[in-house]
Amino acid sequence: MTTKTDNRTMLTDLYELTMGEAYLQSNKNEKATFDMFIRKLPEDWGFFIANGIEDAIDYATNLKFQDEDIEYLRSQNLFTEEYLNYLKNFKFTGEVYSVKEGTPVAPNTPLIRVSAPRIEAQMLETILLNTINFQTMISTKANRIVQAAGKAAVVDFGARRAQEQDAAVKGARAAYLAGAVATSNVMAGKEYGIPISGTHAHSFVMSFPTELQAFQAYVKRDSTNPTLLIDTYDTLQGARNAAIVGKQLEKQGKRLGAVRLDSGDLATLSKQVRQILDQQGLDYVKIVASNDLNEYKIAELTEKQAPINGYGVGTELITSKPVSALPGVYKLIEDETGPKIKLSAEKQTYPGIKQVYRIEKDGKYQYDLLSLNNEQFSGKPLLEKVIKNGERLHPKRNLSEIRNYCLREVAKMPEKSKQVHAEPYILKISNNLELLVNSLKTKYNGVKNENNLLEYRYAR
């Protein structure tokens, strides 16, 4: 299922527009190439799952300033009429390469490469970073939770804690892409075809004279494998009441689907609840758990062999707590004068147009190799052309297809990179790329080293 593309042209930082006018007035609109990449991994993360790529392609190919956009910009008294007329007819005409959405990647891997007239390429910066940084962060966090849960299912419960609608809906999509099996978010289910799932609130139980009456009322309207929240008053008594309802459903030829724990010592309670249910012949009833869960808590529950079949994860999934943002950036790597490099402390970039090769051995990925685009290696190239002359080259991929691809790719990542306390997946640098970096350092640091420059020219 796909959604209607919305125009987000005005979702941009002011400096994209002011630089554009300065470029236009300076007759500096030759072809330029930018890489979008994420600089470094948060603590304990082994890799990123590239996400937001499909949305980014849509936004790039649909950029258009509406009449009301031009009027707003005119009202700010910041731009000439010549430039406003340029924006009125603005359209992205360049080309874009990207990794496939759902690909696990190392830091400093180009996720998107944009080549276009300079103003057009610059205009994509904010929307690409806004889109890809957030969705990549949530998909990666969600996959960490899924990995920690092992065979247990993970459901997104994050809508009420997300930073408003976009984050809730896009976050639910990101979580599903990365391995969650469902979402409580009905809008995300409608928009993307994600399975929707949920229970009832404690307030529902409190609205009836007794917990047992509340459970009976709930299964009356939801008798297809319903889930009962059993910790409003006393969890173990709640389990006994759920068992009574479960046996009543059996007499109707129906089944209780699950009980949900939302507080207390989940490891101990889940074992006690399992015993209560099993003693009543309800071994098929599943136990699901929630309560401010994250990958660390779930990994601990898995280690303790808690008999939990599923987890509802809200706040820490949809906000990626404690990681509030990813350091994704969009940097110039080449223009009409040649390769470009940024040499700021701790922010050095890799210059030139590049490709990434994935090296595999015995069915597992070993490392990736970042190289210059004209080099050839035996691994699988990750960057593929997705936009040509401003037009999308391939239909938007189905979410289920992306999800299946993502999970297959993650399964082939090194085990040590999938742990809760993970080791980073390795990105190696080719010799020729390293040579280019050193030659540009020499050039911009004002030190002559003709041998290094000649060696680079020969390598090209």
CA–CA separation, 17 and 22 (whole Å): 9
User: Is 90 exceeded by the pLDDT of residue 6?
Assistant: no
3-state helix, strand, coil in the chain (%, to 5): 40, 20, 40
The structure's pTM equals 0.93
Backbone angles phi, psi at 240, to 5 degrees: -65, -40
Over range 176-198, report the average pLDDT. 97
State the burial class of residue 407 (Cβ atoms within 10 Å of its Cβ: 0-12, 13-18, 19+). Answer: middle
Least confident of 153-167, 205-219, 393-407, 444-458: 444-458
CA–CA separation, 55 and 60 (whole Å): 9
Residue whose token pair is 């966090």: 141
Q: What pLDDT score was predicted for residue 450?
A: 46
For 317-365, the pLDDT digits (tens) are 999 999 999 999 999 999 999 999 999 888 999 999 999 999 999 999 9
Q: Is residue 229 helix, strand or coil?
A: strand
Q: Which stretch of DSSP H or E encloses residue 129?
A: helix 125-149
| Position with higher pLDDT, 254 vs 450 | 254
Buried b / exposed e over 193-230, threshold 16 CB at 10 Å, is ebebbbbbeeebbeeeeebbebbbebbeeeeeebbbbb
C-alpha angle 382-419-289 in degrees, rounded to nearest 5: 115
CA–CA separation, 155 and 175 (whole Å): 8
What does each C-alpha distance from 321 to 43, 292, 313, 400 come to in angstroms? 12, 11, 12, 26
User: Is 60 exceeded by the pLDDT of residue 5?
Assistant: no
> Strands 354-361, 48-49: parallel, antiparallel or unpaired by DSSP?
unpaired
